[in-house]
Chains A and B, each alone.
Chain A
Amino acid sequence: DAGVIQSPRHEVTEMGQEVTLRCKPISGHNSLFWYRQTMMRGLELLIYFNNNVPIDDSGMPEDRFSAKMPNASFSTLKIQPSEPRDSAVYFCASRGEPPEQYFGPGTRLTVT
Chain B
Amino acid sequence: SQQGEEDPQALSIQEGENATMNCSYKTSINNLQWYRQNSGRGLVHLILIRSNEREKHSGRLRVTLDTSKKSSSLLITASRAADTASYFCATDALGFQKLVFGTGTRLLVSP
CB-based contact A103/B92 at 8 Å? no
CB-based contact B43/A91 at 8 Å? yes
Number of A-B contacts (CB under 8 A): 50
From B52-60, B64-72, B97-105, give the one contacting chain A: B97-105
From A41-49, A61-69, A75-83, give the one contacting chain B: A41-49
Asked whether B22 is an interface residue with its Cβ less than 8 Å from the other chain, the reply is no
- Residues 44 to 99 of chain A near chain B (Cβ within 8 Å): 45, 48, 50, 55-56, 91, 93, 98-99
CB of B86, distance to nearest CB on chain A (Å): 10
Query: With A48-B98, A98-B48, A100-B33 given, is the CB distance from A42 to B41 under 8 Å?
Result: no
CB of B42, distance to nearest CB on chain A (Å): 3
Q: How far is the CA of A45 from the CA of B92 in the complex (A)?
A: 13
Q: Pick from A42, A91, A100 the residue with the most CB of B within 10 Å.
A: A100
CB of B36, distance to nearest CB on chain A (Å): 11
CB-based contact B42/A99 at 8 Å? no
Contact of B97 among A42, A48, A100 (CB under 8 A): A48
Residues of the B chain whose Cβ atoms lie less than 8 Å from the Cβ of A45: 98-101
Residues of the A chain whose Cβ atoms lie less than 8 Å from the Cβ of B20: none
Instruction: Count residues on chain A whose CB falls below 8 Å from chain B CBs.
Output: 21
CB-based contact B98/A106 at 8 Å? no
Query: With A42-B3, A42-B103 given, is the CB distance from A103 to B97 under 8 Å?
Result: no
CB of B56, distance to nearest CB on chain A (Å): 13
Q: Pick from A31, A48, A101 the residue with the most CB of B within 10 Å.
A: A101
Given contacts A99-B33, A100-B45, 7 further A-B contacts (CB under 8 A): A45-B99, A50-B97, A56-B98, A93-B43, A99-B48, A101-B99, A103-B44
Q: Which residues of B contact A (CB under 8 A)?
A: 3, 30-31, 33, 35, 41-45, 48, 88, 90, 92, 97-101, 103-104
Q: Which residues of A contact B (CB under 8 A)?
A: 4, 31, 33, 42-43, 45, 48, 50, 55-56, 91, 93, 98-106
